[in-house]
Amino acid sequence: MRSICLYFQVHQPFRLRTYRFFNIGQDHHYYDDYQNRHIIRRVAEKSYLPANNLMLSLIKEFGSAFKVSYSISGTALEQLETHVPEVIRSFRQLADTGQVEFIAETYAHSLSSLGNKDEFVRQVELHASKIEELFGKRPTTFRNTELIYSDHIGEIVADMGFHTMLTEGAKHILGWKSPNYMYCNNINPKLKVLLRNFRLSDDLTFRFSNQEWSEWPLTTEKFVKWLNKIEKNEEVVNLFLDYETIGEHQWKETGIFDFFSHLPETVFSNSNFSFSTPDQLYHKLQPVSAISVPHPISWADEERDLTAWLGNELQDEAFGKLYSYEAKVRQCKDPEINRDWLYLQTSNHFYYMCTKWFSAGEVHKYFNPYGSPYEAFINYMNVLSDFMIRVDESLNVKEPSVQEAEPIPASKRKSSPVKAAVKAKKKPAKGVKKAK
């Protein structure tokens, strides 16, 4: 029996409100509560809830033959808990079937794996604990924000005790190799690596409703025919998708729900595939080889690199400034500062600053609340400026000696412990630049 690994990413950021420079130092609420509430409710109604119900009914129908896995970011979980707790309940029901694996990621869906190792580890722990608390099982599989992966990141993940990690089956790392096997990390072979089959996955996420597409409409029969065309000795087809694909990116009217509700049935009757979770695959499959990824990859865009989030002057300045405060935030006990610290790290903020889609990219515009990357940057920097003042003030009150008793917040950035922190964090970021 060969396997289909069906995995969904669930993520929503805390979008920032319009935050002007004259709010700096006066107003410490950064989030567009109305927008965030509105979006999470809409997506829950159009996608999460009906999709969960669909998965539940498939599990009831097919028992252990049908399996699915999820990663849900901490920022999405929090918003669901506050605004649509029935989604959490419905995920719990899925967890209770025993056919669903919940996967760990960074709590804030952040780029911390590229910014600061300690922060990365802390956030993964935080998320794993949250998942355990909600769904009763500590994750053993890890997937990084937007499937970002490199040999080095994999090594850190292995050290944290995860045995499997998901990433993109990017053409430029695979070459002639197929993504449909189990691989392992190039530095620590104990970590098994599953690679996304981007062709079949993108058929569902991007092309499903595209009437210009020569394969439209996509039926389960056609999809299973493609699965059957895969070489007989290839072991696993990894379909890694945004959960919002079902019902939000692809509306109900496109037939996406019908597709998924008929998929298991067609798979079972017309092929020798079955459904597995990453954890099952870890126990079942041996790696065919190590996969070498010296520079980080992701599942974004044609390039499958990091340029959606990092690399232009805006993104690099925002990212650098943010992580230059990691050491300071560590010393802060204020729960609100620590909360904002997480929310401000969410990758979406950097994605909004990307300039490479000026001409093309409808997908990106759809997800971007800002008129231009410049507006996104200014707004983020205003918020970050206020955040930095708060961190400095909080430290000043508690430990004035640490900051060499300088009264002006701006000058504090120059103090030596921070500089050291900046240097330490720049290292992975440089690797990023080379990757381009």
Partner 1 sequence: MFGWEFPPHITGGLGTACFGLTKGLVKQGVEVIFVVPKAFGDESKDGFRLVNASDVTLDFTQAWTKEHLERIQFMEIGSNLVPYLDPEEFETVVNKEVLTGIQETQSVFSKQYSFSGKYGPNLMQEVSRYALVASSIATTNTFDVIHAHDWLTYPAGIAAKKMTGKPLVVHVHATEFDRSGEHVNQPVYDIERQGMIEADLVITVSNLTRQIVIEKYGIAPEKVITVHNAVEPVDHPELSGVTKHVKEKVVTFLGRVTYQKGPDYFVEAAHKVLQRDSNVRFVMAGSGDLLNRMIRRVAKLKIATKFHFTGFLAGPEVDTMFAMSDVYVMPSVSEPFGISPLEAMRSNVPVVISKQSGVAEVLQHALKVDFWDIDALADAIYGILHYEGLSKMFIRYGKTEVDNLIWENAALNILEVYNKAVYK
Chain positions contacting partner 1, by CB under 8 A: 20-22, 24, 312-318, 355, 358, 371-372, 374-375, 377-378, 381-382, 385
Min CB(336)–partner 1 separation in Å: 24
Catalytic residue selected from 78, 101, 119, 146: 146
* Closest distance of CB 149 from partner 1, Å: 27
For partner 1, the closer of residues 227 and 314 by Cβ is 314
Minimum CB distance to partner 1 smaller for 22 or for 366? 22
Could you tell me the smallest distance in angstroms from the CB atom of residue 154 to partner 1?
Answer: 31
Nearer to partner 1, 255 or 369 (CB): 369
The CA distance from 378 to 289, in Å, is 46
* Least spacing, CB of residue 368 vs partner 1, in Å: 14
Contact present, 24 and 386 (Cβ < 8 Å): yes
Nearer to partner 1, 71 or 379 (CB): 379
Closest to partner 1 by CB, 25 vs 217, is 25
> 20 or 171, CB closer to partner 1?
20
Spacing of C-alpha 354 from chain mean position: 17
In angstroms, rounded to a whole number, what is the distance separating the alpha carbons of residues 342 and 420? 22
Whole-angstrom distance, CA of residue 166 vs CA of residue 182:
10
Task: Supply the minimum distance, in Å, between the C-beta of residue 347 and partner 1.
Answer: 17
CB 313, min distance to partner 1, A: 4
CB atoms under 10 Å from CB of 177, counted, come to 15
Non-local CB neighbours of 253 within 8 Å, separated by 6+ positions: none
Whether 66 and 275 have beta carbons less than 8 Å apart is answered as yes
- Taking the complex as a whole, how short is the minimal distance between the CB of residue 202 and partner 1, in angstroms? 27
146 assigned to active site:
yes
Nearer of residues 245 and 385 to partner 1, judged by Cβ: 385
CB 114 within 8 A of CB 429: yes
- Alpha-carbon distance 196 to 173, whole Å? 12
Q: Could you give the residue numbers annotated as active site? A: 146
